[in-house]
Amino acid sequence: MSLKDKLDELQQRGLAEIKKSNDLKDVNQVRVSLLGKKGPITEVLRGMRDLNADERPKVGAFANKVRDELTAALEQRREELERAVLNARLAKEAIDVTLPGTPVAKGEPHVIQQIIDQIEDLFLGMGYQVLNGPEVEEDKYNFEMMNLPKNHPARDMQDTFYITKEILMRTQTSPMQARTLEKHDFSQGPLKMISPGVVYRRDTDDPTHSHQFHQVEGLVIDKHVTMADLKGTLQVLAHELFGDKFDVRLRPSYFPFTEPSVEADITCFNCGGKGCGVCKNTGWIEVLGAGMVHPNVLKMAGVDPDVYGGFAFGVGPDRFAMLKYGVDDIRNFYLNDVRFLKQFTKKG
């Protein structure tokens, strides 16, 4: 048997053994037995000394080839087996991906806060300041400077929690407007502000009344502010809060601190303006009061009404939230049932 034949046979046998090996240990044993220092290939190579010089390189090359092929086969087999082991492990590790995810503790902003923030951001973007005033106010700022002198019949429209004759829980956030108007330096530019906050009325709590609720009042005073500007501003507000499809209409109304005074309605979100129970078949829903600031309000704050003028508006985030989400009881906002609070978490 020539060396070459021996090598041939060795290769056949080796490949068969590699194929038969079933785990990494087997593969290693086969490797040692075939390619080790005491293995048959080494032995064959050792026999090359007996060959003549012509044959030696040929057989040598052949022997290297056999060794390389066996090595490659061993490597391949090892990878196969490793992959199989890994796959088996991964298969064992499989989980039911439909089991629920681990809960994370996650808090949410109050729905009223969300609306206030939304209004604030809108007006900040239009160059308004946000001013928070005191909740306990003086009669002077809450009423008198709002053109509601002591005996004004419209005071009956707002039942007030008095602490003393002159000190009260603010019934609106507009006292902050009076405070700001008094101080504003118009040489530095127009006054554009909103004042959000809690207000109080002497009401018995029921589904539509709350002794505590929120208001955001806005004020713009400059040399050339028009009622058309008011209309446009309210339209922007309605679009921001409810969506572009909503129209705004103004109706005459009465507030002592504005003249002309208007109430603003928006398209009924429930029926889109066709008329339904929510809008009492009018297609419109009343959402806010507004108007051109009454000259007396300006005068009392030391602003010349012949030079400056502007508009004011007031919106109720509670009412907005009730309308927008169909909340049927205003008390829900202040009882803080977690199941209620967690309903207003959608941010997308």
Partner 1 sequence: MKISYNWINEYLDLNVSPADLAEKIERTSVEVDGVTQPSAGLKKIVVGHVLSVEMHPDSDHLHICQIDVGEDEPLQIVCGAPNIAKDQNVIVALPGSRIAGNVKIKKSKMRGVPSAGMVCALQEIGFSEDVVPKEYVDGIYVLPADATPGDEVYDYLGMNDSLIDLDVTPNRGDMLSLNGTLHDLAAIYDQPVELDQPNVKESGAAIDSELTLHVDADLAPQYRMRLVKQVKIAPSPMWLQIRLWNAGYRPINNVVDITNYIMLKYGQPLHAFDYDKFDGQDVYVRTATAGEPLTTLDEGEHELTDQDIVIADSNRPIGLAGVMGGLDAAITNQTKTVAIEAAVFEHDHIRKAAQRHNLHTDASQRFERGVNQAGVQDALDAAAQLMNELADGAVQTGTAVGSDNEPEPAVITISMGHINAVLGTDLTQAQVIHILQSLEFTVMAEGDTLTVTVPVRRNDIHIPADLLEEVARIYGYDELPTTLPTGRMTMGTLTTAQKLMRATRHSLEGLGLNQAISYALTTEDKAKMFTMQASEITKLAWPMSVDHAVLRMNVITGLLDDIAYNTARKVKDVALYEQGRVFYREDGNDRPSEEEHIAGVITGTLMPAGWNQPAQAVDFFQMKGIVEAYLQDMAVNGDVSFVANSEMPEMHPGRTADVLVHGHRIGFIGQVHPSIAKQFKIGATYVFELNLQAIIDMPKQENQYDLISRYPAITRDIAMLVSDETTNEEIMALIDKRGGAYLQSVKLFDVYDGVKVPKGKKSLAYTLTYQDKQGTLVDDKVNQAFDKVTQRLEDDLDAEIR
List binding-site positions for Mg(2+): 259
- Supply φ then ψ for residue 107, to 5 degrees: -100, 160
Q: Is 250 in the site for partner 1 (CB under 8 A)?
A: yes
* Nearest-approach distance from CB 86 to partner 1, in angstroms: 25
Q: Is 134 in the site for partner 1 (CB under 8 A)?
A: yes
103 cis-preceded (ω within 30 degrees of 0): no
Q: Is 268 in the site for Zn ion (CB under 5 A)?
A: yes
Largest CA distance in the chain: 133
271 contact choice in Zn ion, partner 1, none (CB below 5 to 8 Å, kind-dependent): Zn ion
The Cα–Cα gap between 139 and 197 comes to 18
Q: Is 169 in the site for partner 1 (CB under 8 A)?
A: yes
Q: Is 95 in the site for partner 1 (CB under 8 A)?
A: no
CB 192 within 8 A of CB 127: yes
* Nearest-approach distance from CB 151 to partner 1, in angstroms: 5
**In this structure, what token pair is assigned to residue 264?**
């603003």
Considering beta carbons, is residue 11 or 261 the nearer one to partner 1?
Answer: 261
* Nearest-approach distance from CB 224 to partner 1, in angstroms: 6
**In this structure, what token pair is assigned to residue 236?**
């922007």
Q: Is 270 in the site for Zn ion (CB under 5 A)?
A: yes
The Cα–Cα gap between 309 and 163 comes to 33
Vertex 73: Cα angle to 72 and 79 (nearest 5): 90
**In this structure, what token pair is assigned to residue 244?**
């572009």
Q: Is 117 in the site for partner 1 (CB under 8 A)?
A: yes
Residue nearest to Zn ion (CB): 268
> Tokens 């239009």 identify what position?
126
Q: Is 240 in the site for partner 1 (CB under 8 A)?
A: no
Q: Is 279 in the site for Zn ion (CB under 5 A)?
A: yes
* Nearest-approach distance from CB 302 to partner 1, in angstroms: 18
